[in-house]
């Protein structure tokens, strides 16, 4: 008997992780949707001065870094594996850290290595177009060193860091008076804060959907509820893992983070607890919306069946009379009566009137 050996990957749903199957642990492989050109910006600042530069090459970046300042190196796009390799070698990034940076499907986590503190998170924000609002999600990795913070963003366009850039450029708040560890905190805090905006949007979606279910339920609402429940569950799972990642940073007690900065991370943990609780309640509420939707559909179906049943009751006696006088027997004296036809019609109307009066008295209509 001939047996065909099937490659397991041929029956697995297409996944980004397939790119990593069979590769060595220290082999750098980009796991993402598409490889785009990487845009590099360098923001370096002190209390007195700030400078933002658009960087074209790796060599230019290395020359522009100033160890006497806080250096924020931001990469929009991580599809250039060779660039990531050069950065890893120069900043002595652990090979596992570099692999996690290139893996855009990695779950949020935090780790401490020899000279850096590393975290990988999910950044979400709202985008608007002419018709609707969408939730955009992006994989982001942040590396904290002695005088630098490196952010690796999966997408080339868009992020949530404009408030941080504005605070640095305008010297608002404490950020220019603090070191790189405070910038590291500020970036994480900004990511978590944008979940609150998304949370409010989800809350409005739930309220609008509930109003639609109560006022004008339709068949398509079933799909909308399922999509909303899936979206809420995914956000809840993401913020739960971010909570674990930030908690792990606190538990590490790293020398890279000053004692005065740790309380700020505690505030971020409180925010993640709040978000986790709200998204958990949202998930339960969306599930209850499904029950409400099915109940309303069932009630509507019952009303329809009740209405059809009542109308059929009117036709039962009328059909009975029409059936009797529609028989072809020869000796039916009523068929010879001059007023037989109008009498039968009048009798039918009387029967309908009596039945309608009875149904109204019983409040079936």
Among 241, 275, 296, identify where a domain stops: 296
Query: What is the CATH number for 196?
Result: 3.30.460.20
User: CA dist 180 to 137, 138, 145, 341, Å?
Assistant: 26, 23, 7, 100
- Same domain for 289 and 305, yes or no, is no
7 found inside a domain: no
User: CA dist 96 to 1, 58, 299, 300, Å?
Assistant: 46, 21, 57, 58
134 found inside a domain: yes
| Amino acid 256: pLDDT | 92
| Amino acid 155: pLDDT | 80
Query: Taking a C-beta distance cutoff of 8 angstroms, is the pair 108, 122 a contact?
Result: yes
- Same domain for 219 and 170, yes or no, is yes
pLDDT along the chain (365 residues), means of 10: 40 44 61 77 94 93 94 92 91 89 89 91 84 84 95 85 94 92 96 93 87 75 82 89 94 90 94 90 82 71 75 81 77 75 84 82 74
> In which domain, by residue range, is 187 found?
23-296
14 found inside a domain: no
User: CA dist 89 to 58, 83, 239, Å?
Assistant: 12, 10, 32
| Amino acid 15: pLDDT | 47
Query: Taking a C-beta distance cutoff of 8 angstroms, is the pair 37, 80 a contact?
Result: yes
| Amino acid 34: pLDDT | 64
Among 267, 296, 325, identify where a domain stops: 296
Distance CA 289, CA 202 (A): 14
- Same domain for 202 and 305, yes or no, is no
Residue 181's nearest CA partner among 255, 76, 127, 92 is 255
Query: Taking a C-beta distance cutoff of 8 angstroms, is the pair 122, 132 a contact?
Result: no
31 found inside a domain: yes
- Same domain for 44 and 72, yes or no, is yes
143 found inside a domain: yes
| Amino acid 329: pLDDT | 73
Q: Which two tokens stand for residue 260?
A: 């005065």
- Same domain for 304 and 158, yes or no, is no
- Same domain for 162 and 210, yes or no, is yes
User: CA dist 78 to 53, 135, 216, Å?
Assistant: 19, 21, 46
Distance CA 52, CA 44 (A): 7
Query: Taking a C-beta distance cutoff of 8 angstroms, is the pair 36, 79 a contact?
Result: yes
- Same domain for 59 and 131, yes or no, is yes
Number of domains forming the structure of the chain: 2
- Same domain for 277 and 315, yes or no, is no
| Amino acid 6: pLDDT | 40
- Same domain for 88 and 193, yes or no, is yes
- Same domain for 107 and 125, yes or no, is yes
Query: What is the CATH number for 313?
Result: 1.20.58
Q: Give 304-353 pLDDT, tens digit per residue.
A: 777 777 778 778 888 888 887 777 777 777 777 777 788 888 888 888 88
Alpha-carbon dihedral 317, 321, 322, 324, rounded to 10 degrees: 130
DSSP string computed for 71-113: EEEEEE----HHHHHHHHHHHT--HHHHHHHHBTTPPPEEEE-
- Same domain for 288 and 304, yes or no, is no
| Amino acid 17: pLDDT | 45
| Amino acid 286: pLDDT | 82
12 found inside a domain: no
Distance CA 252, CA 112 (A): 7
263 found inside a domain: yes
| Amino acid 123: pLDDT | 92
């Amino acid at each position: 008997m001939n047996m065909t050996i099937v490659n397991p990957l041929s029956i697995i749903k297409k996944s980004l992780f397939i790119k990593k199957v069979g590769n060595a642990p220290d082999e750098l492989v980009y796991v993402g949707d598409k490889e785009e050109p990487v845009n590099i910006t360098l923001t370096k600042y002190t209390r007195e001065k700030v400078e933002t530069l658009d960087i074209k090459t790796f060599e230019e970046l290395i020359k522009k870094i100033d160890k006497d300042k806080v250096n924020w190196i931001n990469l929009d796009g991580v599809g250039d594996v060779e660039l990531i390799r050069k950065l890893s070698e120069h900043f002595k990034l652990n090979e596992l850290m570099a692999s996690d940076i290139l893996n855009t499907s990695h779950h949020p986590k935090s780790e401490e290595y020899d000279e850096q503190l590393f975290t990988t998170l999910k950044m979400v924000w709202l985008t608007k177009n002419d018709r609707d609002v969408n939730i955009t999600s992006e994989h982001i990795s942040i590396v904290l060193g002695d005088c630098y913070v490196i952010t690796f963003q999966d997408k080339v366009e868009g992020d949530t860091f404009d408030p941080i850039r504005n605070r640095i450029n305008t010297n608002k708040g404490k950020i220019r008076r603090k070191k790189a560890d405070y910038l590291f905190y500020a970036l994480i805090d900004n990511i978590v804060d944008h979940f609150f905006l998304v949370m409010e949007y989800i809350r409005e979606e739930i309220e609008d959907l509930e109003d639609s279910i109560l006022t004008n339920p339709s068949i398509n609402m079933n799909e909308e509820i399922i999509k909303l429940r899936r979206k809420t569950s995914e956000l809840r799972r993401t913020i739960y893992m971010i909570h674990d990642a930030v908690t792990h940073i606190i538990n590490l007690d790293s020398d890279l983070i000053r004692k005065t900065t740790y309380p700020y991370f505690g505030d971020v943990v409180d925010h993640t607890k709040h978000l986790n609780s709200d998204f958990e309640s949202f998930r339960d509420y969306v599930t209850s919306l499904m029950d409400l939707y099915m109940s309303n559909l069932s009630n509507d179906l019952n009303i329809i069946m009740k209405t059809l049943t009542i109308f059929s009751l009117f036709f039962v006696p009328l059909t009975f009379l029409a059936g009797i006088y529609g028989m072809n027997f020869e000796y039916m004296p009523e068929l010879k009566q001059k007023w037989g036809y109008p009498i039968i019609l009048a009798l039918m109307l009387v029967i309908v009137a009596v039945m309608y009066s009875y149904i109204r008295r019983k409040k079936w209509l």
